[in-house]
A and B are shown apart, each in its own frame.
Chain A
Amino acid sequence: MASVSTLPPPPAPIAGSVRYPLLERAVALELWGGVLVSAPLLVLGALLVFLGGVGTLSPSPPTHLTTGLSAGAWGAGLLYGGVLVLALTPVARVGVSAVLFAIKRDFRFTVITFTVFVLLVTTAVGGIYG
């Protein structure tokens, strides 16, 4: 019978630091893209809300998107879209990272990143329908 001391050692850990320039580039571009899309929507939306004379500090439900064709309604819709794009940007960043870790065949981090993505979606969906 083999004693404990003769069991094979655990696999050697990988040493050193690992950086994937492609992943860093993709994450930076995705985040910057989120800023570039949301910022004009937010600025234009705020301007139209003021031009339409419907500015308010009260909460705005998503139905603002379909309440008419006035400048104010358009502005509220654009503001809503800007905030939505901004809120989706970090979630999309996790999705992009999962795909790129998979492309790099870094399976440990593909699993970790996919787990984060599932937890995020579960929290968001649970919060909305819960």
Chain B
Amino acid sequence: MSRTRPLAVVLLLAALASSRLPAQATYPWALPPGFPPPAIPADNPMTEAKVELGRHLFYDTRLSGNGTQSCGSCHEQARTFTDGRPRSVGSTGQAHPRGSMSLVNVAYARVLTWANPSLTRLEDQALVPMYGGHPIELGLDRSDRWLEAIAQDATYQRLFRAAFDDEQPVTRDNVVKAIATFERAIVSARSPYDRYHFERDETAISEAAKRGEVLFHSRPLSCFTCHGGIHFSSAMGTARPAMTVEFHNTGLYNLPGLLSYPSDNTGVFEFTRDPADVGKFKAPTLRNIAVTAPYMHDGSVVTLEEAIEHYAAGGRTIATGEYAGVGRDNPNKSATIRGFTLTPDQRADLIAFLQSLTDDGLLRDPRFGNPWPCQSHR
């Protein structure tokens, strides 16, 4: 007895301590064998309670200045957290110059958004749509009066208490931490391609998709150069630092003058002012790409077939109008965009491979769905 009593006391204390520290719990990623979990910031660990709080905040229209939009308005689960528009539209009707990016596997993203090399933390990125004015997205008031309504909601009182140990947990800092935690939880790793690749289920994808995979990884297409790795984006993955991310000018435009791209969408140039960066954007993940149309940073490519045609031509030619020009000749065009010729069967194979990356289960998973069924988000 004398030996077991101190042990029992230690175990009791440990149990009490763990109940007060939900943030210390291990998050159940439930990834396929061989699929690495993402790196998580030490100051914002993953917990199920924080994911659940983040999910409620993500879909709550009270997080917009006029109560009409939430994060989920431009990041719809069924569209792999994009919105189906060429360019997103904010809560006050202002058009964003770029399209909504998919959030799947964003926890693995080494840089965020289409073209900002310095934005690397989801906690920082969340503040842009919340408070940004150019353009207005959610349009929240910087006085944070919206937090008062959140603090008085009984559901949130319970969720914040479960997620954070702070005496006054309803703060802007904790809101963005919870939203970022929810976004990190959205991991696509159960597509037919994943079953084929990680579980070696030879029947999971078609023979056409397997041929398409070979094309994807072979010359002269070499799609893997920019869309490599298990996330199909060279800008994702935990193995390399953010500073090594490459941005690419794919020859979508070639306008006369100093800026060869439309002035509201100059890519990395917007941040560096280096003329060599005009038209350079991040290669997004191709996971679930079949449900994220339209494509490219400005949604100017409508279908997957059209996207393949763009790369096959080595750049896009626009014959007439405001953006007329031969994108193939853009001086900043990436050397990897060289053009190629595919037979109709090979094009079909490539499309079949890209379609095999659709994780239907994720697009319907209630853990990532809207918990506020009565709210409209559009």
Query: Is B truly associated with A?
Result: no
Task: Give residues in B with beta carbon < 8 Å to A.
Answer: none
